[in-house]
Copies of this chain bind each other. A is one copy, B any other.
């Protein structure tokens, strides 16, 4: 599966846990089956929404195993590698590929501020350690660094660094990246962006948490965009946008987990110090899902 291009809707899977923090493998398997049945084009466990920065490797390994096995090759699995040290990230990237993931979403959390060269060398080290495609991830709101275009040009020289998921919300920057990097780096939208605009820029897909809750709608949006039915795509986008907004206002993992619980997937709460969505948040998410027609 790894020779094809990644494109389309890749829900950021949550990591379902019980009150003791143990992985609920069954729930994860059900969620995978449900999403595939709704037509998603791939699956991304252990991204931001998947609390990839919080879980120990033992749990993460199990998540990858469950998702790869449940996906049965029907859709590609791009698993998150989310480690503060380069050494740790490289080790997990290798193990992730070995466990059957088709690609790696490389996230770089940090404690100390990072200089550009630190960031470039980190992602380069990951790319060189694996043979599968690597998706670069940047979220200047969560990290203390961001990719400049020269940094992306440098990283695009690695043959398997082929995608970028940018969560900045800065559409103009994406257009500049698309204009400069062209096909050397393909762009995935995040939920901080208006996905239909990213598709117009040439973005190849949407990789984010809300797709767990509205997979069919996301697939429809993607198909309209691929067929350049922009008017129709934008009308659909307008109805879906409220969910992206909720994600920006509330804690990501808490928001998707609350919505999935409402839809009948007992995925539990995020790991503390994150907490369950509060009552007001739940009411808002419930209202949005009802309006979209998925509750």
List residues of chain A with CB under 8 Å of any chain B CB.
21, 48, 53-54, 56, 82, 84-88, 108-114, 117-119, 121-122, 125, 141-142, 144, 169-172, 175-176, 179, 192-194, 196-197, 200-201, 228, 230-231, 234, 237-238, 241-242, 244-245, 248, 251-253, 271-275
Choice from B87, B230, B252 contacting A200 with Cβ under 8 Å: B230
Q: How far is the CA of A198 from the CA of B228 in the complex (A)?
A: 18
Structural contact, A271 and B85, CB atoms closer than 8 A: yes
Structural contact, A172 and B192, CB atoms closer than 8 A: yes
Give the chain B neighbours of A110 by CB distance below 8 A. 273
**Contact (A242, B112) CB under 8 Å given A230-B230, A234-B200:** no
Give the chain B neighbours of A242 by CB distance below 8 A. 179
Structural contact, B54 and A176, CB atoms closer than 8 A: no
Give the chain B neighbours of A244 by CB distance below 8 A. 172
Structural contact, B86 and A176, CB atoms closer than 8 A: no
Structural contact, B228 and A228, CB atoms closer than 8 A: no
A63 to nearest B CB, angstroms?
A: 15
Structural contact, A171 and B197, CB atoms closer than 8 A: yes
* Identical copies in the complex: 4
Structural contact, B87 and A271, CB atoms closer than 8 A: yes
Give the chain B neighbours of A113 by CB distance below 8 A. 141-142, 251
Choice from B87, B230, B253 contacting A21 with Cβ under 8 Å: B87
A84 to nearest B CB, angstroms?
A: 5
Choice from B86, B172, B193 contacting A169 with Cβ under 8 Å: B172
Structural contact, A53 and B111, CB atoms closer than 8 A: yes
Task: Determine which residue in A172, A192, A231, A245 has the highest number of CB atoms from chain B within 10 A of its CB, and name it.
Answer: A172
Give the chain B neighbours of A119 by CB distance below 8 A. 273
New A-B pairs, 12, CB < 8 Å, besides A121-B272, A172-B192? A85-B271, A85-B272, A110-B273, A112-B251, A119-B273, A142-B144, A171-B197, A175-B238, A175-B241, A179-B242, A196-B200, A230-B230
A223 to nearest B CB, angstroms?
A: 16
Task: Determine which residue in A82, A200, A201, A273 has the highest number of CB atoms from chain B within 10 A of its CB, and name it.
Answer: A273
Choice from B56, B172, B274 contacting A245 with Cβ under 8 Å: B172
A270 to B, closest residue via Cβ: B112
**Contact (A273, B114) CB under 8 Å given A87-B21, A228-B231:** yes
Give the chain B neighbours of A234 by CB distance below 8 A. 200-201
Q: How far is the CA of A53 from the CA of B88 in the complex (A)?
A: 13
Give the chain B neighbours of A109 by CB distance below 8 A. 111
16 A/B residue pairs, CB under 8 Å, sorted by A: A53-B111, A82-B111, A112-B253, A118-B273, A118-B274, A118-B275, A121-B273, A169-B171, A169-B172, A171-B194, A171-B197, A172-B194, A172-B248, A175-B241, A200-B234, A228-B231
Give the chain B neighbours of A118 by CB distance below 8 A. 272-275
